Every structure is written in structure tokens, then in C-alpha cells.
Amino acid sequence: MDNITHTLFALTLARTPLGRAGRGTTATLILASNAPDIDVVATARGARSYLTWHRGPTHGPLGIVGLGLLAAWVVWVGIGALEKRSPSGKTRAPFRLLAPIAIVGVIFHLLMDLPTSYGVRILSPFDWHWFAIDWMPIIDVYLLVVLAASLLFGHVSEAAGRRNAALALMLMAANYGVRGVAHHQALVNAPRLFGPLLPSRCETPAPEAHLIDSWPGTAEAAAQAGTRCLVEIVAVPTFFSPFRWRVIAHLSNAYEIHDIDLLDARFQGPASEREVLWRTTLRFPNVWTPAVWAAASTPLGRTFLGFARLPAARSFVDPTGIATIRWTDVRFVGTLIAIDQSLGRTDPFTTVIRLAPDGHILDEHLGP
């Protein structure tokens, strides 16, 4: 989630019983709820460093405890210094209460990041796998509106603040519930979207479905499959409607993408024999040539493939033997890429590597 949402949620938590510990609890919750994103400092060393460290150790077990204690200590010391200069008469919350409150704030940060399609490395630095539930976009306008409205209209009185905070939390839970059901329905309708051209599973029997997805996994191994087969189907949310999803079929040699609107009348009943939804499928080749495998072993290649959930590989070898390899994480095609480019930022979701005939790196960079 974005930091505005994390901050508004922290202010909402401050109006629950958590905020009654004493002076400094609101500041502690705000600081702790944003603390894991301190890894943004990694961007100072470029987009590659960003991919390496973003949502890494600061979002793992050490980050939960360490950042929680640090946030509590900063606020406790800061409030103590302010009281010496100008006593307010309000009781400062003891550190023994601020510490667990701060840890709760950090945990909620992770719990809000986990359901996004971007994912989070919740076990790092002990395990660098990414985990995601795919229910929420990175920025959810509905959460922003609900939390902001709750805080705005809760200023009337303390009782109104507590009442609005409870209402906001219930509406948040409802939003998550609706998106969870819609995500399931998008996956159920996937066979209708891709039609008769959808191949059978690469694994027989098909692997069990899990609520929490994890990567990197067997994507590269599946690319070596001798036949065209289905690795997995992923449904990622869009930014504005909880009923519009991007469904991605990960095949052994390509990605096929289809958008679905669950409110479309065609999905309210059984499939028609004349249904040809699959004709509008967008296809991204994913062919792992020897040049692609060589690029995958380079430092940037390992970094990108450790981040990308659905990396589509394309390669070209010119007459002189120079190979150009490009990966694109198809989760972000047409979404965050467009937003980042409009802001003048480097696109971290595409990487290009050029290799000489002898295998040494001629050029490597993130971005198109």
C-alpha cells in the first residue's frame, strides 16, 4: 500500500483502544506504520538496488521487532525532550506500552502490503521469496476515501472519532472481502476467457491452489518443457474497480493476458457455444534461448528474476553474434509502467542485457 493509506490507517488505529496508552501513541503508530518503507533509501543507488532491497528485511521478522522498538524509542525520547521544554500536563505513555503498540503498527503495515499484487518478502533476510494474495492494487482509492472520511467526520467529538474508526475498519474488512470473492470469481472464469486454446497443466495432477502465492518458483524450469503447457493462472486487480481484473495465463512458452469485468452480463450465466472471448487475448512470448539462460546468470539478470513474478523473455542475436535479451514483468504492463514513465522515473519492471559472443556483458540496464 502507499504511505498515505498507511498513515490514514495509523490515525484510525489511534482512535481505537490502542490510542489510550497516553501521550505519544498516535505519533508512534504513524511512525511505525510507515517505518518499513525506510528501504526507499535504496533508490539512492539506483533502480537495481531498489529491486534488491524493496520490501525486503525491513518487512521481515527483524524489521517488525527492530523498527517497532526504534519507532517507540524515538517517540518516547522526543516526547520526553518536549516535556522538559514545555510541560503539557498530559501523561507520557511509558515505553513498555509504546513498544508493543509500535510493533502492532509495523505488523499492520505488512498485513496491508501482503494482499497487494506487488507482494512482500515477509521472511527476509532468512528467506527471500516473495509472497502475495493478489486481492488489492497498490493504491486503493476506496480505502483512501473511507479512511479520510472517517477521520474528517470524526473530529466532532471523541465519541464520534471512536465510532467512525470502528465503521471505517468494518468497511475496510468488507472491501477486502469483496475483493477476495471477486478474485476467486476471476480465476473461476479464466477457462472461458482463454477458450479452447488453453493447454493442459504442466503438472499432472494439477497443483493445489493456495491463498498466498509465492515466487520465484518453477517459471524457468517450465520454460524448458518440451510441450506447450499451462504453468499457472494469475488474476491481478486493477486500480479503480474491484470487479475488473487482469487474468494472466502463464504458459511454458508465453503469457496470455485477458481483462475481465465480472459485472459483464455474459458472466452471469453459463457459457455459450458461440463465445469467442479468447480472440481478444493479448500474447507475450516467453522463449528461453541459450542467450536468455546466459543473461539469467548475470548479476542484473539474477536480481531482476528474483523480483519479477511473471518475467516474459525475448531475445535477438545479430549477425555479429551480439545477443540482446529483454525481460518484462507482465504484471505491470500498461499499469505502473505507464505511471512511472509519466513521472519521469526509470521503469524497474523491464530489463535489457546485451552479451558479446564470448558471453561478457556489453550493456545492462533497467528500463526499455
Return phi, psi of residue 127, to 5°: -145, 125
Q: Please say which residue of 153, 183, 213 terminates a domain.
A: 183
Which range, 51-65, 72-86, 188-202, 208-222, is most confident? Answer: 51-65
pLDDT at 366: 86
For residues 164 and 30, membership in a common domain is answered with yes
Q: Which of 315, 246, 259 is nearest to 285 (CA)?
A: 315
For residues 11 and 150, membership in a common domain is answered with yes
For residues 262 and 132, membership in a common domain is answered with no
For residues 305 and 199, membership in a common domain is answered with no
Domain that holds residue 298: 290-366
Is the distance from CB of 306 to CB of 48 less than 8 angstroms? no
Q: What angle do CA 90, 108, 304 make, to 5 degrees?
A: 135
Per residue in 235-256, pLDDT (tens digit) is 999 988 999 999 999 998 899 9
| Mean pLDDT, range 145-162, rounded to an integer | 88
For residues 93 and 179, membership in a common domain is answered with yes
What's the one-letter identity of residue 335? T
> How would residue 356 be classed by pLDDT, with cut points 50, 70 and 90?
very high
pLDDT at 354: 96
Q: Please say which residue of 232, 259, 285 terminates a domain.
A: 285
For residues 35 and 162, membership in a common domain is answered with yes
Long-range contacts of 69-77 (CB under 8 A, 24+ apart): 69/99, 69/102, 69/103, 70/35, 71/28, 71/31, 71/32, 71/35, 71/102, 71/105, 71/106, 72/28, 72/32, 72/98, 72/99, 72/101, 72/102, 74/31, 75/24, 75/27, 75/28, 75/31, 75/102, 76/24
Q: What is the pTM of this model?
A: 0.89
For residues 134 and 104, membership in a common domain is answered with yes
For residues 239 and 96, membership in a common domain is answered with no
Per residue in 128-145, pLDDT (tens digit) is 999 999 999 999 999 999
Could you count the other beta carbons within 10 Å of the beta carbon of residue 192? 18
For residues 172 and 223, membership in a common domain is answered with no
Return phi, psi of residue 171, to 5°: -65, -35
DSSP letter for each residue of 108-160: HHHHHHTTBSS-B-TTTTT---EEE---B-SS-HHHHHHHHHHHHHTTS-HHH
Average pLDDT, the chain: 87
> How would residue 209 be classed by pLDDT, with cut points 50, 70 and 90?
low
For residues 74 and 61, membership in a common domain is answered with yes
> How would residue 193 be classed by pLDDT, with cut points 50, 70 and 90?
confident
The least confident of 96-100, 181-185, 248-252, 267-271 is 267-271
Q: Please say which residue of 124, 154, 183 terminates a domain.
A: 183
| Mean pLDDT, range 216-230, rounded to an integer | 66
**Residue with more model confidence, 216 or 270:** 216
Domain count of the chain? 3
Cβ-count burial 214-226 (b if 16+ within 10 Å, e if not): ebeeebeebbeee
pLDDT at 274 over 70: no
For residues 167 and 40, membership in a common domain is answered with yes
pLDDT at 70: 97
pLDDT at 342 over 50: no
Is the distance from CB of 347 to CB of 366 less than 8 angstroms? yes
For residues 28 and 148, membership in a common domain is answered with yes
Asked if the bond preceding 100 is cis, omega within 30° of 0, the reply is: no
pLDDT at 337: 42
Is the distance from CB of 136 to CB of 1 less than 8 angstroms? yes
Across the chain, where does the E strand assignment appear? 130-132, 213-215, 230-237, 244-251, 254-261, 282-285, 311-317, 323-329, 350-355, 361-366
